[in-house]
Amino acid sequence: MNSKKLKRHRGSEKALFRAYRLDPNEEMITIKKFGSRVRVQTIGSGPPLLFVHGAPNSGSTWVQLLPFFPSYKCILLDRPGCGLSEPISYKNISGIDDVTEIIVSVIDGILDHFNIESASFVPSSFGGYLVLMYTLQRPKRVNKLIFEGCPAMVEGSHLPPFLKIILAPVLKQIIPKLPTTKSFFRVILRKLGHGYSVDHKLIPDVFVDWYVSLFNNTNTQANDMSFAGKGFRAGKMKREFILHDAAIEKVSQPTLWLWGMDDPFGGIEIGKRLNLIMKNSSIFILDNSGHLPWIDKPEIQAVKINEFLSAI
């Protein structure tokens, strides 16, 4: 990332946090197994909440939720290659075990850095897929789970049509090099199920500005497309990457599903099925909400999450 682009992106990110009167601390944490560093931002103190974003995205995407958790230590991860984190090579990834190895190394590294034995997790989309795998490998380090939207790569989920096009072999090399405009990003938001929020101007301009900067001034798109592209062929999930119900039903941690009615990755029938197969799970479905439901109705999300976290 060149210095001019880095400066522009940091400026957009600073404006985003300033709009919510937040001043995060930033640390670069080395993941020893891969020899690369991930950027982590923290806000507040108290029981740890680790936020794991989807693709392509970065940790600052959670900003609209953060003011509602003053009694928690909110930990915002930029996954490898996303935001301001350094990339790792995905060249030799061939299945779910390889992906699991990456996320276990990353999250273990973060928790160990902060001397945290266990945390509660708030993931979204591809982050949800990763956190499920982490939970299966490290159950003692996971307290509670709050999933925002449909996790990627679970049984029955699918790519929206526009993402199938973007992940086509040629286009996934070209698209990250093209500039993203605010108007085009709002088109993407509509295709992600956020048409109601776009029409009613519920998504702040400062958030749109930051996200456009993420696309234009970092390598997030290119890196995440190379990662996510490993799991799909001709727009369909490769079987060796699918996270099956038989694995998910082994998760015993208290779990809250926050599901947008208009989520194009998986309808509410998938959310209800996942809720049923898990041992200690509940689901809350939001009208007029899409794949990233916290950006539609952060206040409602925060109430549900705080109630869930404070329950014994």
Does residue 53 have a pLDDT over 60? yes
pLDDT at 6 over 90: yes
Q: What pLDDT, on the 0 to 100 scale, is given for residue 278? A: 94
What is the band of 168 on the pLDDT scale with cuts at 50, 70, 90? low
Q: Is 184 helix (H, G, I), strand (E, B) or coil?
A: helix
CA gap 212, 228 in Å, rounded:
20
Q: How far apart are the first and last CA of the chain?
A: 45
Distance between CA atoms of 248 and 18, rounded to whole angstroms? 38
Specify whether the CB–CB gap between 153 and 55 falls below 8 A: no
For the stretch 217-243, pLDDT in tens is 999 988 888 877 788 877 788 999 999
CB 268 within 8 A of CB 259: yes
Query: How many domains are contained in the chain?
Result: 1
**Contact present, 29 and 112 (Cβ < 8 Å):** no
pLDDT band at 167 (very low <50, low <70, confident <90, very high): low
Task: Specify whether the CB–CB gap between 284 and 305 falls below 8 A.
Answer: no
Q: Which of 213, 260, 194, 227 is nearest to 106 (CA)?
A: 227
Residue 21's alpha-carbon distances to 15, 60, 67, 278, in angstroms, are 10, 14, 8, 37
Cα 154 to Cα 99: distance, rounded to the nearest angstrom: 14
- 246-290 tens-digit pLDDT: 999 999 999 999 999 999 999 999 999 999 999 899 999 999 999
Report pLDDT for 171.
Answer: 52
| pTM score above 0.85 | yes
- The per-residue pLDDT for range 9-20, each reduced to its tens digit, is 999 999 999 999
AA letter at 41: Q
CA distance 308 to 149: 16
Tell me the C-alpha distance between 226 and 144, whole Å. 30
Distance CA 143, CA 152 (A): 22
158, 129, 139, 91: which is closest to 243 by C-alpha? Answer: 129
Residue 295 pLDDT greater than 80, yes or no: yes
Q: How far apart are CA 35 and CA 304, in angstroms?
A: 38
Task: Give tens-digit pLDDT for 56-104.
Answer: 999 999 999 999 999 999 999 999 999 999 999 888 888 999 999 999 9
Whole-angstrom distance, CA of residue 99 vs CA of residue 93? 7
Give the CATH number for residue 11.
3.40.50.1820
- Tell me, what's the pLDDT at 169? 59
Helix runs in the chain, H state only: 3-19, 96-113, 126-137, 161-166, 171-174, 182-189, 195-199, 205-217, 220-228, 245-248, 268-277, 298-310
C-alpha of 309 from chain center = 19
Which residue range forms the structural domain that includes residue 187?
Answer: 3-310
Specify the range with the lowest mean pLDDT, choosing from 50-54, 166-170, 210-214, 253-257.
Answer: 166-170
Classify the phi-psi angles of 35: left when phi > 0, otherwise alpha if psi is within -120 to 50, otherwise beta. Answer: left
